[in-house]
């Protein structure tokens, strides 16, 4: 039941990542009526460069219902969960880190769009607004794997949940 959802983290303002955030066409309304929608402030500030129609289709309906929560960088969410600013793909791109004991799951959004970036985070993606910043964000998140068991929840890799395994050279492989 959509009313059971209390938090939605929007990684960034691209149509393939805001999906069902707001529905209803001419009379837009949040799909999850009781959820806080979390988005980085810098992403909203850059909306006219990212996707101007999403202002009226997503941002305004969420503001009208007081469900939009703007974050300023890395933000704790609940025990073991935090939103992490991972700019580059878009100015306010964010990822979500969920820690449970020695395990860490990273919901990457478009931080990683091809498996080769696990080995070579310096490789840019054609649609990154700031490739250098995206590289730095990828390197920052991939360094987190030293903490223990590391899982990636990625929307665009062949497998949506990718556990990087270490080879003899301590490099992640699929």
CATH number of the domain enclosing 95: 3.60.15.10
Predicted confidence (pLDDT) per residue in 90-116, tens digit:
999 999 999 988 889 999 999 999 888
- The alpha-helical segments, DSSP class H, found in 51-161 are 53-54, 60-64, 116-119, 131-143
> What's the domain range around 112?
75-173
Domain end, chosen from 50, 71, 92, is at 71
Of 102, 101, 173, nearest to 142 by C-alpha is 173
Q: Average pLDDT over the chain, rounded to whole?
A: 90
Q: Would you say residue 171 has pLDDT above 80?
A: no
Are 43 and 57 within one domain?
A: yes
| 0.85 exceeded by pTM | yes
Q: Are residues 24 and 58 in the same domain?
A: yes
Asked whether residue 57 falls in the same domain as residue 80, the answer is: no
Reported as a pLDDT band with limits 50, 70 and 90, residue 174 is: very low
Beta bridge partners of 94: 85
Tell me, yes or no, whether 111 and 160 share the same domain: yes
Other Cβ atoms less than 10 A from the Cβ of 47: the count is 19
Q: Tens digit of pLDDT for each residue in 17-67?
A: 998 999 998 899 999 999 999 999 999 999 999 999 999 999 999 999 999
106 and 121 together in one domain: yes
Position 173 confidence tier, pLDDT thresholds 50, 70, 90: very low
């Amino acid at each position: 039941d959509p009313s059971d959802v209390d938090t939605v983290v929007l990684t960034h303002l691209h149509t393939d990542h805001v999906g069902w955030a707001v529905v209803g066409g001419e009379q837009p309304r949040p799909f999850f009526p009781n959820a806080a929608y979390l988005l980085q402030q810098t992403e909203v500030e850059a909306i006219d460069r990212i996707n101007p129609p999403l202002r009226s289709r997503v941002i305004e309906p969420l503001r009208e219902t007081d469900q939009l929560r703007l974050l300023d960088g890395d933000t704790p969410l609940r025990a073991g969960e935090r939103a992490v600013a991972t700019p580059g793909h878009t100015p306010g791109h964010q990822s979500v880190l969920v820690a449970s004991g020695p395990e860490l799951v990273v919901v990457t959004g478009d931080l990683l769009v091809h498996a080769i970036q696990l080995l070579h985070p310096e490789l840019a993606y054609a649609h990154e607004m700031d490739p250098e910043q995206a590289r730095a964000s990828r390197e920052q998140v991939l360094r987190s794997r030293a903490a223990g068991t590391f899982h990636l929840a990625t929307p665009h890799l062949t497998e949506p949940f990718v556990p990087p395994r270490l080879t003899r050279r301590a490099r992640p492989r699929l």
